[in-house]
Amino acid sequence: MAQKNNDEQFKNVISHAKEYGFVFQSSEIYDGLSAVYDYGQLGAELKNNIKTYWWKAMVQMHENIVGIDSAIFMHPKVWKASGHVDGFNDPMIDNKDSKKRYRADQLLENKIDELYSELANFSEANKAKFEAFQQEILGLSDEGQAAWVPGFKDEETILDHAQYPFVEEASWKFVKKGLALEVEMNLALKSENLAQLKDLIVNYKVICPISKTSNWTDVRQFNLMFSTQFGAMAEGSDEVYLRPETAQGIFVNFLNVQKSGRMKIPFGIAQIGKAFRNEVIARQFIMRMREFEQMEMQFFVRPGEDKKWFEYWKEARLKWHRALGTSPEKYRYHDHVKLAHYANAATDIEFEFPFGFKEVEGIHSRTDFDLTQHQEFSGKKMQYFDNDLNEEGKPYGNYVPYVIETSIGLDRMFLLTMINAFEEQDLSTEDKQDSRTLLRLHPALAPYKVAIFPLTKKDGLPEKAREIMDALKFDFNCIYEEKDAIGKRYRRQDAVGTPFCITVDHQSLEDNTVTIRHRDSMEQERIAIADLSDIIGKATSWKNLLA
Ligand code: GAP
């Protein structure tokens, strides 16, 4: 039931986003382009405000972080050096009956979730014990993990209760099978054993959700980068890629920025920009797109100080999210047990979407992998000379810096913001049925800060309202509306998240006062026109988020 409500809520957010001009399907009149979306008039405003919040927090509030804007096209060797040409693949599999294509690992993850759903029957204490045990197993060496599999795999294996005190027999047989599959899948992915992935799909009886059959092709690797030809003639021209992450534009400019900006380690380079991935399955609206936007920052540190800065950024980034007023239990860290070969620590900041906890942002300790790779592939030194003195009183000297990366998907942050703000309120009283749809956006993020309404279209009220708008529009994004009854105009602004509505009436002409209505409380008060700028300015100030 809860699942149904969540599905319903998610559907409502999607249709609300379209109805009020936040997000449209790309090329909709041609039936759309899968996993590509356009931001409408209010979506563009909200997106810009999220970018501003990130940019101010990361660049403007840090003396040692600067921002750049690098090109989408980069030299093809960049992607060889970064490992994307050889390793940025998803394993995919087709169902021969439905002709649908799936990511093999996602099919298996769905199966694991299905088996783990039995955890709902565990007591909270036993569930926590199981999760600790699961982390322990997943943290073992590959050989250590593989050794556990046979004992877990078989549903019927009887386990010694003394050894597994959290066992709840009826459900445990499914849960342990889930754990066996998780381990086997991880090992197969790590060793890129595609035949093994196929075997798991067959052996664990994974079926296609459309055809309901298990008539599968073999698993193949599918590179996620989009490529195109560079140069006028297709023949003889070079293949270039649309960047799959913005980070590499930062790495290749490391020395340019360090030298021209006279940056001293530790320092960061940030950028916001488009990234492109030919996702095998794109789904859940703007959650997984083929063209999307990232906000990334690479923080260059002394080798040996990487762990300290990783912890710093982990905390700082969660604080950034929480400042928006989201309830803390909606967020959690997901520390990676399995690390990419170049990382020595990684965590995801996850948000509880209606379809479960999912990654919004990644914080990765990438060691000196990227700069060292670029040094090797370009033949140019990517080193920094550190003339600060170490504990022995000698300069740290030349080294390739280590990097902590913070990488957040702007579109995911947008979706999170919409979901979090969306509320359908029942305002019915004994005498009257009533409701409203509200976007409870933080005022600093709201597309419009203030809506200005003349009570009627005559008696000089529109002129007075326009005069107020002309004074406020330099500082705030305002909207003027004179159509429909006041109540209807209020509802429309509630639905797009405008924190203030100002009504100009006949009294305004006499004493230069207006009524101001507050979006969340719906309270109205009479105030002097001269105080408007101050009131709106205080509520919508970036200081509320950044201080
Ligand atoms: N430079 C590191 C990097 O790109 P990632 O985990 O692949 O790491 C970072 O991506 C963030 O970008 C994710 O946390 C997610 O918010 C966003 N992201 C990744 N793929 C996406 C997609 N297909 N659609 C929308 N957002 C995506």
CA of 121 to the centre of ligand 1 (A): 34
DSSP codes, 129-140:
HHHHHHHHHHTS
Question: In which band, very low, low, confident or very high, does the pLDDT at 160 lie, cut at 50, 70 and 90?
Answer: low
Degrees, nearest 5: CA angle 260-244-360: 95
Instruction: Say what the pLDDT of residue 40 is.
Output: 98
Lowest-confidence range among 3-7, 114-118, 120-124?
A: 3-7
Q: Which atom of ligand 1 is nearest to the CA of 359?
A: 14
β-pair partners for 501: 451, 517
Instruction: Say what the pLDDT of residue 165 is.
Output: 66
DSSP codes, 14-47:
HHHHHHTTSEEETTGGGT--TT-EEE-HHHHHHH
pLDDT of 234 higher than 60: no
pLDDT of 149 higher than 90: no
CB 291 near ligand 1, within 6 Å:
no
pLDDT of 128 higher than 90: no
Query: Span 328-341, mean pLDDT?
Result: 88
CB 111 near ligand 1, within 6 Å:
no
pLDDT, greater one: 175 or 358 = 358
CA distances from 265 to 416, 473, 522 (A): 34, 42, 50
Amino acid at position 497, single letter: G
Pick the residue whose CA is nearest to atom 10 on ligand 1. Answer: 407
Hey, which of 39, 70, 278, 412 would you mutate to test ligand 1's pocket, going by the most ligand atoms within 8 Å of its Cβ?
412
Instruction: Say what the pLDDT of residue 3 is.
Output: 46
CA distances from 169 to 123, 166, 231, 335 (A): 12, 9, 65, 29
For the chain, the maximum distance between any two Cα atoms, rounded to a whole number of angstroms, is 86
Query: Span 290-316, mean pLDDT?
Result: 98
CA of 363 to the centre of ligand 1 (A): 11
Hey, which of 54, 276, 292 would you mutate to test ligand 1's pocket, going by the most ligand atoms within 8 Å of its Cβ?
292
CB 317 near ligand 1, within 6 Å:
no
CA of 172 to the centre of ligand 1 (A): 34
Whether 271 and 249 have beta carbons less than 8 Å apart is answered as yes
CA of 408 to the centre of ligand 1 (A): 7
57-77 pLDDT tens trace: 999 999 999 999 999 999 999
CB 279 near ligand 1, within 6 Å:
yes
Query: Span 435-445, mean pLDDT?
Result: 97
Closest to 25 in 3D by CA, of 11, 12, 39? 39
Output the average pLDDT for the chain: 93
CB 273 near ligand 1, within 6 Å:
no
Instruction: Say what the pLDDT of residue 459 is.
Output: 96
pLDDT of 203 higher than 70: yes
Token pair 């105080």: residue: 531
Degrees, nearest 5: CA angle 296-354-201: 85
Degrees, nearest 5: CA angle 471-473-479: 115
Evaluated on CA atoms 417, 117, 335, 283, the torsion sign reads: negative
CB 289 near ligand 1, within 6 Å:
yes
CA 231 – CA 76 distance, rounded (Å): 13
Question: In which band, very low, low, confident or very high, does the pLDDT at 251 lie, cut at 50, 70 and 90?
Answer: very high
CB 361 near ligand 1, within 6 Å:
yes
Q: Which atom of ligand 1 is nearest to the CA of 294?
A: 12
Instruction: Say what the pLDDT of residue 237 is.
Output: 63
Instruction: Say what the pLDDT of residue 218 is.
Output: 97
CB 411 near ligand 1, within 6 Å:
yes
CB 246 near ligand 1, within 6 Å:
no
DSSP state of 95: B
pLDDT, greater one: 150 or 100 = 100
pLDDT of 436 higher than 70: yes
- Which pTM does this prediction carry? 0.87
CB 245 near ligand 1, within 6 Å:
yes
CB 386 near ligand 1, within 6 Å:
no
CA 332 – CA 325 distance, rounded (Å): 15
Lowest-confidence range among 16-25, 119-128, 442-451?
A: 119-128
CA of 269 to the centre of ligand 1 (A): 18
Closest to 441 in 3D by CA, of 36, 43, 58? 43
Pick the residue whose CA is nearest to atom 7 on ligand 1. Answer: 245
- For residue 501 the two structure tokens come to 């509505």
Hey, which of 226, 284, 294, 333 would you mutate to test ligand 1's pocket, going by the most ligand atoms within 8 Å of its Cβ?
294
CA of 351 to the centre of ligand 1 (A): 14
Q: What percent of the chain is modeled with pLDDT above 70?
A: 95
Whether 52 and 34 have beta carbons less than 8 Å apart is answered as no
β-pair partners for 389: 395
CA of 292 to the centre of ligand 1 (A): 8
Instruction: Say what the pLDDT of residue 166 is.
Output: 67
- For residue 486 the two structure tokens come to 């006041």
Query: Span 228-242, mean pLDDT?
Result: 78
pLDDT of 1 higher than 50: no
Beta strand extents in 69-162 (DSSP E only): 89-94, 101-103
Pick the residue whose CA is nearest to atom 18 on ligand 1. Answer: 409
Cβ-Cβ contacts under 8 Å for 105 (sequence gap 6 or more)? 90, 91, 185, 189, 197
Instruction: Say what the pLDDT of residue 158 is.
Output: 53
Beta strand extents in 367-434 (DSSP E only): 384-389, 395-399, 402-409, 422-426
pLDDT of 4 higher than 90: no
CA of 411 to the centre of ligand 1 (A): 10
Instruction: Say what the pLDDT of residue 236 is.
Output: 56
Instruction: Say what the pLDDT of residue 258 is.
Output: 98
CA of 193 to the centre of ligand 1 (A): 25
pLDDT, greater one: 192 or 337 = 192
CB 249 near ligand 1, within 6 Å:
no
Query: Span 269-289, mean pLDDT?
Result: 92
Hey, which of 287, 359, 363, 365 would you mutate to test ligand 1's pocket, going by the most ligand atoms within 8 Å of its Cβ?
359
Pick the residue whose CA is nearest to atom 4 on ligand 1. Answer: 245
451 sits in which H/E element:
strand 450-454
